[in-house]
Amino acid sequence: MTQKLTQRITINDVASAAGVSRQTVSRALNDKGEIDRETKQRVLDAARDLGYRPSRFARGLVRPDTTSIGLVIPDLLNPFFTEVAAAALEAARARGWHVVVYDTADSLEEERGTLQVIGTQVDAVVGYFSLSEAELDEHTRGMPVVLIGRQSPRFSSIRIEGAAGVRSAVDHLVSAGHRRIGMLDYANRADPSDRHAWFCAAMATHGLATDAVTTAAQSVAGGAEALVELLDRHPDVTAVFTFNDIIAIGALRTVRRLGRELAVIGFDGLQLGTVVDPELTSVALDTRRIGALAVEQAARLLAGAEPLAGDDLVVQAVLLLRESA
């Protein structure tokens, strides 16, 4: 005898249906003692018949606070973000938190939409945003916000520091005898990336030229094409560093198809890199640490405790040697 929920069914409806008071219903539903077995059963039946579901809001208002955070990710299908998300989920679970996940599909519009509705749902927000600080501030209204991979004077942020890791990568290539090392950068940005800057700095320490740089689309195909182009322009290149692992995997494919000998080092250190053959050497980010750190910082902000600062918020990339270089 389920019925349509045109109007919300409340505890009062159940109470009158069962011929008891609200409190008795509450007791029956929450397995409190001090209630007649028979009464309890009658209430339970009534509740089931009516399709009654307690309002989580009303309940939350009265019971000890559960905390939940919003996790904002540009694209859950991108393995890097998947790893960060999984890590954040794990860290949140350890605290007994709930995580509401939003995939903004790399779109500013979706980001805005998310921000507008998120405020009423969560106690803090963690993740990736491309919106301006002003816009973020306007919608989050003092709610704790932890940005990942983006500096901000206004909000807490997890900083990604890759200079040392990229230097190790270049050192590694150089000591293997490589001198002409190219790079596949990410195309979709106006400026060259941080990673490009780190690459140039590392090359400079060896007095090596950094003219062999091409941009690639953010996909396996993009990496594959970009490497063809790069080798076309700079046939003497014997090794490449790439913006990320996806692009590197594409590059690896080109290497294989061309039957060429070429060292490849990616960036991110995804588990995905172990799926390809040869397994991908990469400048690795500890995605679990990123997720855990973001959640930890949110916890401190929420508790009004001393927030992490400075180096505690930095995630250092390190060279992860596998097979491709």
Partner DNA sequence: TTGAAAGCGTTACCAT
Partner DNA sequence: ATGGTAACGCTTTCAA
Q: Does 265 bind DNA (CB under 7 A)?
A: no
Per-residue CA distances from 74 to 101, 155, 161, 164, 231 (Å)? 11, 19, 21, 27, 32
Please tell me the distance from the alpha carbon of residue 270 to that of residue 276, in angstroms, as a whole number: 11
Cβ nearer to a copy of itself, comparing 114 with 193 = 114
| Whether 104 contacts 296, CB under 8 Å | no
Measured from the CB of residue 116, what is the shortest distance to DNA in angstroms?
14
Cβ nearer to DNA, comparing 61 with 77 = 61
Paired strand residues for 159: 314
Please tell me the distance from the alpha carbon of residue 290 to that of residue 276, in angstroms, as a whole number: 24
The residue within the footprint of DNA, chosen from 5, 16, 23, 209 (CB under 7 A), is 23
Q: Which does 89 bind (CB under 5 to 8 A by kind): a copy of itself, DNA, none?
A: a copy of itself
The residue within the footprint of DNA, chosen from 4, 6, 61, 304 (CB under 7 A), is 61
Q: Which does 323 bind (CB under 5 to 8 A by kind): a copy of itself, DNA, none?
A: none
Please tell me the distance from the alpha carbon of residue 97 to that of residue 112, in angstroms, as a whole number: 24
* CA 193 from centre of chain: 19
Cβ nearer to DNA, comparing 120 with 175 = 120
Which one-letter DSSP state was computed for residue 271?
G
Please tell me the distance from the alpha carbon of residue 136 to that of residue 130, in angstroms, as a whole number: 9
The residue within the footprint of DNA, chosen from 1, 62, 134, 190 (CB under 7 A), is 62
Please tell me the distance from the alpha carbon of residue 217 to that of residue 188, in angstroms, as a whole number: 7
Instruction: Decide: helix, strand or coil at residue 61.
Output: helix
- Provide the binding-site residues for a copy of itself, judged by CB under 8 A: 2-5, 8, 29, 47-48, 51-61, 63, 65-66, 68, 76-77, 79, 82-83, 85-86, 89-90, 93, 96, 98-103, 105, 110, 117, 119-123, 141-143, 220, 249, 252-253, 256-257, 271-272, 274-277, 302-305
Structure tokens of 272? 């995905």
Q: Which does 26 bind (CB under 5 to 8 A by kind): a copy of itself, DNA, none?
A: DNA
At 269, the amino acid letter reads G
Q: Does 27 bind DNA (CB under 7 A)?
A: yes
Q: Which does 98 bind (CB under 5 to 8 A by kind): DNA, a copy of itself, none?
A: a copy of itself
Summarize as ranges the residues that interact with DNA (CB under 7 A). 8, 10-12, 19-27, 29-30, 32-36, 39-40, 52-55, 57-59, 61-63
